[in-house]
């Protein structure tokens, strides 16, 4: 089943990998075409995806923290070649994250500390974070994409300082 996930990643068609426990499965991969249930946990799936691109999940997290000085749960670069990033957000299961691969979503604040992200295909997820926190993570992911596309000189100079004016003007 991990091979299916690698194919989805290579096609850039995945949206979210989230925990999903039903007795047989531990995670679910949402794509534009549907979804895949997996026996592996979200962290195991993410680790295998990162290994496919010559690193592991912890290496990607550590690299992002060091390069950008991001502390808690940074977005990570999955592949320089695709290019593709993944953003961790808390899932509906306490203590477990889901990983969002597509930064093109709308954010609706539901309550003070709860928001909903909605993708173009109307797939949506509740996230126990306020709108600003979700947006900050998304901007960090966009910064990483800009940096690998255009170089560190354009956005934030590689230390977590996202220039919102630059991003908004593109």
Nearest to 136 by CA among 148, 127, 123, 124: 127
State how beta strands 97-100 and 84-90 pair: antiparallel
Give the model's pLDDT for residue 128.
94
Q: How far is residue 170's CA from residue 167's CA, in Å, rounded to a whole number?
A: 6
Give the model's pLDDT for residue 30.
93
Query: What DSSP letter does each residue of the chain carry, written as one string?
Result: -HHHHHHHHHTT-EEEEEE--SSS-SEEEEESS-EEEESS-HHHHHHHHHHHTTS-HHHHHHHHHHHH---SS--EEEETTTTEEEEEEE-SSTT-EEEE----EEEEEEETTEEEEEETTS-EEEESS-HHHHHHHHHHHHHHHHHHHH-TTTTGGGTT---HHHHHH-
Q: How far is residue 35's CA from residue 12's CA, in Å, rounded to a whole number?
A: 14
CA 30 to chain centre: 12
- What's this model's pTM, rounded to 2 decimal places? 0.84
Give the model's pLDDT for residue 24.
94
Give the model's pLDDT for residue 45.
93
State how beta strands 124-127 and 27-31 pair: unpaired
List the chain residues with pLDDT less than 50.
154-155, 157, 164-170
């Amino acid at each position: 089943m991990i091979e299916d996930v690698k194919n989805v990643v290579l096609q850039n068609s995945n949206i979210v990998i989230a925990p999903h426990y039903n007795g047989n499965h531990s995670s679910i991969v949402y794509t534009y075409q549907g979804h895949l249930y997996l026996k592996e946990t979200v962290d195991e799936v993410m680790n295998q995806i990162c290994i496919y691109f010559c690193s592991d999940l912890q290496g990607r997290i550590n690299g992002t923290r060091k390069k950008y000085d991001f502390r808690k749960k940074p977005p990570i670069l999955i592949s320089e070649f695709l290019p593709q990033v993944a953003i961790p957000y808390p899932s509906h299961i306490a203590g477990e994250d889901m990983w969002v691969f597509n930064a093109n979503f709308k954010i609706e604040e539901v309550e003070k500390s709860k928001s909903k992200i909605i993708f173009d295909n109307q797939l949506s997820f509740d996230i126990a974070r306020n709108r600003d926190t979700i947006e900050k993570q998304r901007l960090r992911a966009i910064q990483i994409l800009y940096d690998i596309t255009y170089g560190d000189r354009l956005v934030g100079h590689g230390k977590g300082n996202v220039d919102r004016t630059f991003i908004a003007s593109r």
